[in-house]
Structure formats: structure tokens, C-alpha cells
Amino acid sequence: MAVEITDQSFQETVLNSDKPVLVDFWAAWCGPCRMLGPIIEEVATDFEGKALVGKVDVDNNQQISVDYGIRNIPTVLIFKNGEVVDKIVGVAPKEVIAEKLNAYL
């Protein structure tokens, strides 16, 4: 299950993680975000124990979105050692997301 990440928990959950972290920036009103949601949940299950998968609701957590220049959603960022190492904008197939995340394990 993907972890809910907020402005308050971002530092601890993402930047201080000892594992790679995939973060899905989304909003409830965004159609493509709703299409990507189940894929992100599958990736979270597949990578349990190997990587952290989380979601940021951009409407409720605007600071993170501003800090990372999120202009289009859905946007998926992959972090390793507190740094952004990869980015996917728009809906991508599970295989593409898993392949990108695998590269940082």
C-alpha cells in the first residue's frame, strides 16, 4: 500500500529514507491520476521491503509541489539518498515504472 506523504512528513519519509522512494504527485479531480493510482498501488506491493512508494495530494500539500516544480500531474519522482534521480510525467505502464525503480535498488 502506498504511503500518504504530506508537507510535514516529506523530510522524514522521503529525504531521510535509506531505500529508494517513488513519489506519485496526484489530485482527486485529475482523471489521469485516477488511472495511475491502481498501478502505483501494485508497484507499492511489488516493491514492499525494497523501496518505499508514496503519494502526495498536490491540493493539500502545495509546498512540496512548489519545491520540486510539479506543474503537471500525475508526476512520479524517484528519490535516492534524498535526491531526485528520475521522473515520469503522465500515465506510464506498470512495467516502465517498475523498470525505472528497479534501476535504483
pLDDT in tens, 74-93: 999 999 999 999 999 999 99
The pLDDT > 90 percentage for the chain reads 100
Quote the pLDDT of residue 83: 97
| CATH level 3 topology of 1-101 | Glutaredoxin (3.40.30)
Catalytic one of 2, 22, 23, 33: 33
The residue-averaged pLDDT of 28-35 equals 98
Task: Name which of 34, 30, 12, 32 is nearest 21 in CA terms.
Answer: 12
Active-site residue flag, 35: no
Average per-residue pLDDT for the chain: 98
- Domain boundaries of the chain, sorted by first residue: 1-101
pLDDT band for 62, please (50, 70, 90 cuts).
Answer: very high
Task: Verify whether residue 7 is a known catalytic residue.
Answer: no
How far is residue 56's CA from residue 64's CA, in Å, rounded to a whole number?
Answer: 8
pTM of the full predicted structure?
Answer: 0.97
Q: Which of 30, 88, 89, 92 is catalytic?
A: 30
82: alpha, beta or left, given left = phi > 0 and alpha = psi -120 to 50?
Answer: left
